[in-house]
Structure 1
Amino acid sequence: MTASISIQHVSHDFGTFRALDDINLEIEAGEYIVLLGPSGCGKTTLLSTLGGFIAPGAGSVSIGGRDMTGVAPAKRPTTTMFQDYALFPHMSLRDNVGFGPRMAGTPKAQRNAKADELLDLVGLKDAALKRPYALSGGQRQRVALARSLAVDPDVLLLDEPLGALDLKLRRAMQDELKQIQRKVGTTFVHVTHDQEEAMAIADRIVVMNGGKIEDCGPPDRIYRKPGSLFSAGFMGEMNRIKGTVRGARIETALGTISAPGGTPNGEVALCLRPEQIGTAKGDWDMGPARIIDAAFFGTHFRCHLAPEAAPEMALIAHLPPGARPEAGSMVSLSADPADLSIFEAQP
């Protein structure tokens, strides 16, 4: 089962605080959507609105073409999976997964067969008779996912489902979640504040800030060509360089480059990812810079640098693992202007 979602002009206030501000979003059936943003940005409020736990102050939500206004959570074609798995400790895994169908009146043999099928999907069929206490955190997470899918939801809502797992297990579960979503075809809407997690699993990322959607698109576009200055800064590390547009040129402390067509005159912020700054000769010669410090991350050295032309400007660059940069040494920096994201400067 799967369904599309249409969110039209949804707003919601908690007293004087505007949690959602005119949200418009179309989600295709079978998409894996991640709502990403800092605490308080509105992502969990939006998820709760989809699940029917919050009635928005304005706007509408449709699922599968059906208006959900006034439809109770239990009557919606949605299931919510929370960070706290809330498994029943006295029940076997089979009975935990089959609990939803049991409440719906499904005969025991049928619901047990369905539970075994879903436990097999998450790699735990052989553990069907175990209790939750005998499982690791990752295994309990898989059981919670199987239980959520047992009621055949059109849309699965996931609220920080991996937040309680350690880094290695979280990364493994990201891969598994994506694979399972592909197999079942259900629409997934997943809330997280972890940018890396969002990029690993999403078909599209919805970046939220202050109750609004700042950016929306595939992970690679969101990362490489963010749609707003906030999105650029929130999605991983970003170097921000001040510039002034004068006609066809952008003047910076690190040299002058051509301005893309349509760039308005005035103060701008030029954004470059650390991996987009290198030491090989490029179209934008940024001049020499002193290495302040360098840390090895396996695939690269993460370096803090002070450009000679603007020592007060702190840059971060990812240099090749064989570079062996040393603190205090000088390197010549360059970049490709095509990699730049350019935004109007903000106060």
Structure 2
Amino acid sequence: MTAPVSIENATKTFGSFTALDNVSLDINAGEFIVLLGPSGCGKTTLLSILGGFLSPTKGRIAIGGKEMTNVPPAKRPTTTMFQDYALFPHMKLKDNVGFGLRMRGVGKTEREERAKSFLDLVGLKTSADKKPHELSGGQRQRVALARALAVDPDVLLLDEPLGALDLKLRRQMQDELKAIQKRVGTTFVHVTHDQEEAMAIADRIVVMNQGKIEDFGPPSEIYMRPRSLFSAGFMGEVNFIPGKVMEAASGRAVVETRLGNVALPGTCFTAGVPSAGDATTLCIRPEHFRGAGEGDAPVTVMGQATISGSAFFGTHYRCHLAPMAAPDMSIVAHMPQSAAVAEGQAVALAVNVGDIVALPSKQA
């Protein structure tokens, strides 16, 4: 089964501390949502409210159109999967997976059949009679997932389930988790602080900060067209170039920066085209700098810079650049792996106009 989730004005306070601040969010049935943000941003509090482990100080929660705000965890159509997996060490895998069914009064034969079918779903059917200590970390994670899905929840809540795995295994499990979610069609709400993980698995990402939602949308939109300076900076490395709007008319604006004036179309202003005199910040990802004349899109050149340092990352060189117009400013740019990169080398700071995002500076 699967169901949509509706969160309306959810707030959670602990004494004078506000962990969740008037959060509203609609999640579609069968959607894979990732709650992303730094420690203390409210993402785990929101997940706990969805699971019924915490009650909101105010606000409303509905699952499948049914009021769930004050319904206890055991009576909600949700299952929560935690980072530590919480498998019973003395039980075989099939009994671990079937435990929730046993608690619901499902007979032994049906319980074992369903447990084995879900172990098969996660690639562990032949290990049904093993115990958790005989498995690797990744295999135990799959057993915990099978147990959570076996009770057929409308919504599966995942609290940093991949956090204990090493990098290679975590990436493998990201792919498997996404594939399993597509097969079963259950609504997934997944908490993580890992930006790469969020982009790898989410249909939509909810970026949270200080108890509020900063941004919400598909991974490509969150990364390429962020709606706040926090979202832009949290989703990956970015250059913030402060500026001031000199002219604004007909959906376009000219922004004055220390690197020169930049004419931008209205599409670059994700928070709306500002007025003349407004402070704004240009956000440019390191991979968006390019050589003048590269590509077909309109390019703006923001002066010359010299390479002050570089490191080879396999797919590219990560270079620190000192603009000649503002030598105290540091710009990070990615250059092709085939480029001849040398300290002191002069390069043009060229970028496709459409790759620039301009946001109000007051959000900093």
* Superposition CA RMSD, Å: 1.1
Counterpart CA distance in 1 for 2:314 and 2:118 is 38
Counterpart CA distance in 1 for 2:314 and 2:83 is 31
Match of 1:287 in 2: 303
Match of 2:197 in 1: 197
Could you list the per-position Cα deviations for residues 67-86 of structure 1 after superposition, in whole angstroms to 9, with x for gaps in the alignment?
00221100000000000111
**Runs of 4+ off more than 6 Å:** none
How far did residue 285 of structure 1 move? Answer: 0.8
Match of 2:269 in 1: none
Contact 1:245 / 1:259 at 8 angstroms: preserved in 2? no
Match of 1:249 among 254, 264, 269: 254
**Where does the alignment leave 5 or more consecutive residues of structure 1 unmatched?**
none
Counterpart CA distance in 2 for 1:333 and 1:85 is 49
Could you list the per-position Cα deviations for residues 250-296 of structure 1 after superposition, in whole angstroms to 9, with x for gaps in the alignment?
11111212143433222111001111111233621122211122111
Counterpart CA distance in 2 for 1:306 and 1:69 is 54
Contact 2:292 / 2:301 at 8 angstroms: preserved in 1? no
For 2:10, what is the secondary structure of its paired residue?
A: strand
Contact 1:288 / 1:333 at 8 angstroms: preserved in 2? yes
- TM-score, length basis structure 2: 0.93
Counterpart CA distance in 2 for 1:14 and 1:277 is 45
**Percent of aligned pairs with the same residue?**
64
Please say if 1:42 is aligned against 2:42: yes
Match of 1:305 in 2: 321
Match of 1:277 among 274, 279, 289: 289
How far did residue 242 of structure 1 move? Answer: 1.1
Counterpart CA distance in 2 for 1:306 and 1:341 is 21
Counterpart CA distance in 2 for 1:279 and 1:32 is 38
Contact 1:10 / 1:57 at 8 angstroms: preserved in 2? yes
Counterpart CA distance in 1 for 2:171 and 2:6 is 30
Larger deviation: 250-259 or 44-53?
250-259
Could you list the per-position Cα deviations for residues 54-75 of structure 1 after superposition, in whole angstroms to 9, with x for gaps in the alignment?
0001010000000002211000
Could you list the per-position Cα deviations for residues 78-107 of structure 1 after superposition, in whole angstroms to 9, with x for gaps in the alignment?
000000111111111111101110111111
Amino acid at match of 2:179: Q
Match of 1:171 in 2: 171
Match of 1:334 among 331, 334, 350: 350
Contact 1:119 / 1:143 at 8 angstroms: preserved in 2? yes
Number of positions where the alignment pairs a residue of Structure 1 with one of Structure 2: 347
- TM-score, length basis structure 1: 0.98
- Map 1:108-147 → 2, pairs under 5 A: 108-147=108-147
For 1:178, what is the secondary structure of its paired residue?
A: helix
**Where does the alignment leave 5 or more consecutive residues of structure 2 unmatched?**
248-252, 267-272
